[in-house]
């Protein structure tokens, strides 16, 4: 089944009062079960596209369908898509458990004990102990904040998960641990994941597919090895520079061991 189907998308914003086209006739079809990394240069509209899928912004033209239905219909139910924002977007005055439980409290008239138990389960699902439940966001490391935000994104058991720079700001060990967690949850929960990232290590570590935004549309959407072989100048610059070549060694190692 198609998890996300985007056709003919056009996005126009005003920059210094001048209409500027960010996306033009953009098409992208994401199959259920993909773990897709969305990459592109600065200003290519990667995060804008995530926000449009989520329903926070609206394109000038085109349509977005999720699981066969118009995206606005599914987004209004809020249980079909989870979102992890770049900096976690936790409420500083709420405890960890209150942050995780918030979507349940907003959407459902459920008993407090049931909400508490569901939030505790998600807390432990992302690798945090019950001892973290009553801590405040200010008491958490960057990696822990990302995990709490991930638990909140998963509290309604959505089949689609959107991530905006999930490993940004993390040290290498925390980034590796977060990638391992994402890979495990993707497999165990049968998630479809769309992830905006510029982190080449993350891209090659966990992506099943890469979509490249350039020239105002998606110029490539394929498994990592197929994408990096394409001759487009942006792809060659992004993936074939020094960092890209080092990160590709991860892909080589994984394929050799599998």
Per-residue pLDDT of the chain (258 residues; tens, 9 = 90+): 799 999 999 999 887 888 999 999 999 999 999 999 999 998 899 999 999 998 888 899 999 999 988 876 655 555 689 999 888 889 999 999 999 999 988 876 788 999 999 999 999 999 999 999 999 999 999 999 999 999 999 999 999 999 999 998 899 999 999 999 999 999 999 999 999 999 998 998 899 999 999 999 999 999 999 999 899 999 988 987 666 666 566 556 655 665
- What CA–CA distance (Å, rounded) separates 75 from 95? 26
Would you list the DSSP string of 172-210? HHHHHHHHHHHHHHHHHTT-EEEEE---HHHHHHH-SEE
Would you list the domain boundaries of the chain?
33-54+69-257
**With the CA atoms of 235, 240, 241 and 243 taken in that order, what torsion angle do they form, in degrees rounded to the nearest 10?**
110
CA distance 46 to 163: 11
**């992208």: which residue's tokens?**
28
Residue listed under structure tokens 């960890």: 96
Residue among 99, 79, 83 nearest 91 (CA): 99
Task: Tell me the fold of 33-54+69-257.
Answer: Rossmann fold (3.40.50)
Model-level pTM? 0.89
* Angle subtended at Cα 235 by Cα 15 and Cα 63, rounded to the nearest 5 degrees: 55
Give the span between the Cα atoms of 145 and 193, in whole angstroms.
19
């Amino acid at each position: 089944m198609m998890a996300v189907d985007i056709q003919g998308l056009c996005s126009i914003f005003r920059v210094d009062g001048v209409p500027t086209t960010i996306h033009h006739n953009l098409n992208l079809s994401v199959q259920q079960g993909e773990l897709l990394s969305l990459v592109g240069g600065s200003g290519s509209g990667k995060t804008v596209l995530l926000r449009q899928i989520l329903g926070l912004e609206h394109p000038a033209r085109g349509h977005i369908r999720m699981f066969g239905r118009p995206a606005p219909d599914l987004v209004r139910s809020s249980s079909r898509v989870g979102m992890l924002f770049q900096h976690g977007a936790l409420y500083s005055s709420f405890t960890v458990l209150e942050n995780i439980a918030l979507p349940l409290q907003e959407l459902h008239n459920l008993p407090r004990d049931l909400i508490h138990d569901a939030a505790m389960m998600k807390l432990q699902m992302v690798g945090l102990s019950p001892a973290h439940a009553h801590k405040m966001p200010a008491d958490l490391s960057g990696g822990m904040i990302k995990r709490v935000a991930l638990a909140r994104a998963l509290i309604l058991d959505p089949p689609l998960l959107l991530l905006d720079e999930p490993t940004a700001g993390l040290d290498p060990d925390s980034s590796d641990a977060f990638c391992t967690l994402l890979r495990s949850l993707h497999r165990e929960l049968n998630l479809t994941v769309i992830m905006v990232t510029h982190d080449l290590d993350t891209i090659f570590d966990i992506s099943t597919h890469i979509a490249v935004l350039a020239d105002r549309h998606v110029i490539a959407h394929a498994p990592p090895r197929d994408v990096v072989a394409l001759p487009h100048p942006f792809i060659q610059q992004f993936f074939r520079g020094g960092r890209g070549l080092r990160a590709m060694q991860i892909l080589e190692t994984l394929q050799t061991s599998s």
